[in-house]
């Protein structure tokens, strides 16, 4: 009972729980992936909005004619007025675009090295060096880009920006002739912005920003990190799908990483989630279920010990009595008087089973004797065809002796048919053998009626070893002669067409140009001469097809368009059994 409890209750229940918990974890995981993917996408979208505003600021400054006016050669003649107007435009632009965002720090320099800015610098700005730096960096890119992004060292006063680096976009200001008249640097304290964003997001998760080569740009916590090989896999996948949020699970760290990509900066935005925290509720349910199973197991063991004392002893007595019944060849019954309840029901059922088995044994013996009688009758019935075959062989020998070729050929054809009918162990024969049976029968009929009938057989040679039911074509040819050409002294033509359909089905068509199905039926009904036995050709074939193929074959009769001629169509599954060949030439 304890084993049954373990195998039938504990094991299936545990397996069901494991499968259920696994599915729940998968659903939770997919929900977490969807939810956190949206958060990472929001992270990326907010950061793109920030960089987009910086890019639009660059465009507005580039398109503002005041900058070209005061940074060009004419504006350099009045430096005080140029500084006043440029600073006014920078302050106006900063106030209009970045009221709800971190402060933006803009630096504009002209070709002469004069610098204009809207912040307090950490140290004096060398405008000429900055202009040369921006010009050199854009020249390294072959002049294909008018601006570039970088994480540059902080140049704003330390009491304003504490971070060591700032997100910066550098560009050259070009006139209508695409000639530079100044340079522009726009920077933002991205570390502060990222810190504020991560604090407002999921407090239990870690956020990382990683540059190409696994270089960290930002960490929400100092101990937050990511394995190099995992970072490489995520980066490779993001290179293929830059607009998609991808994820990887690290079994070693028991964490899930979701990442998004910013192509302009070549930065990867990553969110790290602890799997333990993700599945905390599921793990608690697992522990409760395990404790419940252990408690039920303990209770079952106690109940089993109590029940065994009340059941084991009666069962041992029952086993002893059953052993005695087996020794007496089931000819005794077990006593039921001392027992009650389930044991009494068991003994009564056993005695009933003994009686049923004895009755079954008796019926089996009777059926066996009946089968032996049927087998004997079959053996006796086979004696007549054997006698006919032996007599036929005697006639064939006499015909050969007297040089009677016609009689000899008839005996050979008839002998082939008789030998085939005697072989009752074979139901399916190769197509070429079935065709030889039909040709042998037609030889006999044409000898009898002086070549009155024509037999045309067409088939693909590759179907020679297709298996067909024995005596399928010959009865159909016989029906055509008996019914289709009964009143036609000039004879007729019988065509057999055999083909395969898509390599799955074998189609056999037997057609004649006789008087047709309806005319044959009317002639049979009006005939005064009754056949001694009912025709069995079509019905016999249809019944054998049903027994052999169990609904997988069909037989249909069709009349010609003018009512003359009959076509019998048989469709059976295509089965091919080619013989073995010895040394490639001889059939075995």
The arrangement of strands across the sheet holding 267-274 comes to 215-219, 206-211, 267-274, 255-262, 246-250
pLDDT at 570 over 90: yes
- Specify the pLDDT at position 384: 47
pLDDT at 341 over 60: yes
Q: Mean pLDDT of all residues in the chain? A: 79
CA distance 326 to 513: 73
Is the full-model pTM beyond 0.75? no
CB pairs under 8 A, 24+ apart, for 52-55? 53/97, 53/98, 53/101, 53/104, 54/104, 54/167, 54/169, 54/186, 54/188, 55/147, 55/169
Name the band, by pLDDT with cuts 50, 70 and 90, for residue 282.
confident
pLDDT at 94 over 50: yes
Largest CA distance in the chain: 144
- Specify the pLDDT at position 532: 47
pLDDT at 497 over 90: yes
pLDDT in tens, 2-27: 677 777 777 887 788 778 777 877 77
Instruction: List for the chain the helix, strand, coil content (%; round to 5).
Output: 55, 20, 25
Per DSSP bridges, beta strands 453-459 and 492-501 are: parallel
Residue with more model confidence, 407 or 461: 461
Look at the block and give the residue holding tokens 């036609």: 488
The Cα-based distances of 41 to 28, 30, 416 in angstroms read 19, 16, 85
Name the band, by pLDDT with cuts 50, 70 and 90, for residue 382.
very low
Contacts with 105 (C-beta within 8 Å, 6 or more apart), sequence order: 117, 118, 119, 155, 156, 161, 166, 186, 187, 188
Name the band, by pLDDT with cuts 50, 70 and 90, for residue 534.
very low
Report helix, strand or coil for 268.
strand
- Specify the pLDDT at position 18: 79
- Identify the CA nearest to 346 among candidates 379, 370, 318, 320: 318
Phi, psi dihedrals of residue 535, rounded to the nearest 5°: -60, 140
CA distance 197 to 199: 5
Please state the rounded mean pLDDT for residues 305-329.
67
* Alpha helices for 471-587 (secondary structure H): 473-479, 517-526, 537-549
Take residue 97 and report the two structure tokens written for it: 């675009």
Where is average pLDDT lowest: 264-273, 392-401, 460-469? 392-401
- Specify the pLDDT at position 499: 92
pLDDT at 443 over 70: yes
Q: Do 443 and 405 contact (CB within 8 A), yes or no? A: no
pLDDT at 241 over 60: yes
- Identify the CA nearest to 83 among candidates 99, 95, 67: 67
pLDDT at 386 over 60: no
């Amino acid at each position: 009972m304890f084993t049954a409890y373990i195998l039938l209750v504990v094991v299936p229940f545990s397996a069901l729980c494991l499968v259920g918990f696994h599915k729940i974890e998968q659903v939770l995981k997919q929900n977490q992936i969807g939810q956190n993917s949206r958060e990472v996408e929001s992270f990326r979208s907010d950061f793109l909005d920030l960089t987009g505003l910086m890019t639009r600021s660059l465009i507005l400054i580039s398109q503002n004619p005041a900058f070209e006016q005061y940074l060009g050669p004419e504006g350099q003649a009045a430096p005080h007025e140029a500084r006043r107007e440029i600073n006014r435009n920078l302050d106006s632009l900063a106030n209009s675009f970045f009221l709800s965002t971190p402060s933006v720090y803009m630096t504009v320099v002209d070709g002469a090295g004069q610098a204009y800015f809207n912040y307090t610098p950490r140290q004096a700005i060398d405008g000429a060096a900055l202009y040369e730096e921006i010009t050199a960096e854009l020249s390294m890119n072959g002049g294909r880009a008018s601006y570039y992004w970088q994480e540059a060292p902080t140049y704003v006063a330390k009491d304003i920006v504490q971070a060591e680096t700032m997100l910066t976009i550098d560009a050259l200001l070009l006139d209508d002739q695409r000639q530079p008249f100044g340079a522009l640097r726009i920077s933002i304290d991205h570390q502060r912005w990222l810190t504020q964003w991560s604090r407002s997001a999921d407090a239990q998760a870690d956020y990382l920003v990683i540059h190409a080569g696994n270089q960290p740009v930002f960490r929400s916590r100092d101990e937050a990190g990511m394995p190099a090989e995992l970072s490489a896999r995520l980066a490779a996948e993001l290179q293929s799908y830059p607009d998609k949020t991808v994820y990887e699970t690290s079994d070693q760290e028991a964490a899930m990483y979701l990442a998004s990509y910013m192509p302009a900066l070549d930065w990867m935005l990553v969110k790290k989630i602890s799997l333990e925290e993700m599945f905390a509720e599921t793990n608690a349910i697992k522990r409760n279920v395990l404790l419940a199973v252990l408690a039920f197991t303990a209770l079952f063991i106690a109940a089993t010990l109590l029940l065994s004392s009340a059941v084991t002893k009666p069962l041992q007595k029952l086993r002893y009595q059953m052993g005695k019944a087996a020794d007496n060849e089931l000819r005794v019954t077990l006593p039921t008087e001392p027992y009650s309840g389930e044991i009494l029901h068991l003994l009564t059922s056993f005695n009933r089973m003994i009686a049923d088995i004895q009755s079954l044994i008796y019926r089996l013996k009777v059926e066996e004797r009946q089968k032996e009688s049927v087998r004997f009758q079959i053996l006796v019935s086979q004696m007549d065809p054997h006698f006919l075959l032996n007599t036929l062989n005697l006639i064939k020998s006499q015909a050969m002796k007297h040089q009677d070729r016609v009689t000899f050929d008839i005996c050979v054809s008839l002998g082939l048919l008789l030998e085939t009918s005697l072989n009752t162990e074979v139901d399916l024969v190769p197509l070429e053998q079935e065709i030889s049976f039909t040709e042998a029968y037609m030889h006999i009929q044409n000898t009898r009626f002086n070549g009155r009938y024509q037999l045309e057989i067409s088939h693909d040679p590759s179907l020679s070893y297709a298996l067909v039911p024995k005596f399928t074509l010959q009865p159909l040819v016989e029906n055509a002669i008996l019914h289709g050409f009964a009143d036609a002294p000039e004879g007729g033509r019988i065509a057999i067409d055999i083909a395969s359909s898509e390599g799955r089905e074998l189609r056999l068509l037997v057609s004649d140009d006789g008087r047709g199905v309806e005319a044959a039926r009317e002639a049979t009904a009006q005939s005064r001469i009754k056949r001694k036995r009912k025709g069995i050709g079509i019905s016999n074939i249809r019944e054998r097809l049903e027994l052999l193929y169990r609904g997988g074959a069909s037989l249909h009769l069709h009349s010609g368009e003018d009512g003359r001629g009959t076509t019998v169509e048989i469709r059976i599954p295509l089965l091919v059994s080619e013989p073995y060949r010895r040394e490639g030439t001889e059939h075995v």
